[in-house]
Chains A and B, each alone.
Chain A
Amino acid sequence: DAMVIQNPRYQVTQFGKPVTLSCSQTLNHNVMYWYQQKSSQAPKLLFHYYDKDFNNEADTPDNFQSRRPNTSFCFLDIRSPGLGDAAMYLCATSRGTRGEGYEQYFGPGTRLTVT
């Protein structure tokens, strides 16, 4: 059974048109992360939530926002997508952020195309 679910798997949006990607988890993990992965590059952490506490990476553009209405769901909002935002967006969860047992469980990703 899927533990980290991302919908949709493929999303096409127009330049400048807001888009929302969703992630849900059945693991009841405290932490949820969003990563951006461009072609042939490593995943890059955008931000994460520890419960309701939002933690933004210093170099994440303001164009990217996130919401976590409850433990199970987390959303990535791109307010005005540019061509450079085309990428795979990965959601991940973990029980905690310190020490052993810190492994992250990733979803399958949403591939975003900007036209």
Chain B
Amino acid sequence: LAKTTQPISMDSYEGQEVNITCSHNNIATNDYITWYQQFPSQGPRFIIQGYKTKVTNEVASLFIPADRKSSTLSLPRVSLSDTAVYYCLLGFQKLVFGTGTRLLVSP
């Protein structure tokens, strides 16, 4: 299975845009890219999924370049409640969680 690499942690302030990049050099042709958010003592929650180009939903955008070797989760105008761990996953038949990025949003 292809491996993902994310920054271990990021800091931001309320109202800022946060971009978390995930590297996946060995992504397989069939792999989709999925991002999950996890709060302490809760199960992960699906944020967004994409295959190529750009995907946007009500909470985030996902940017995927043409070579698909990386992806960027963009969170517009973060709030304190966005403090969480964010996981980038690749998968077609099953998902493997990487180490995740711990985002801390401060006032």
List chain A positions with a Cβ less than 8 A from chain B: 4, 42-45, 48, 88, 90-92, 97-100, 102-109, 111
In the complex with contacts A100-B32, A102-B49, A42-B43 CB distance below 8 A = no
Interface size class of B (residues with CB under 8 A): 20 to 34
A106 CA / B47 CA spacing, docked (Å): 12
Q: In the complex the two chains form, is B87's CB within 8 Å of A42's CB?
A: yes
What are 18 inter-chain pairs, A to B, with CB distance below 8 A?
A42-B87, A43-B97, A45-B97, A48-B94, A88-B41, A97-B94, A99-B30, A100-B32, A100-B49, A102-B92, A103-B34, A103-B46, A104-B46, A105-B46, A108-B42, A109-B41, A109-B42, A109-B43
When A and B form their complex, what is the total count of cross-chain residue pairs whose Cβ atoms lie within 8 Å? 53
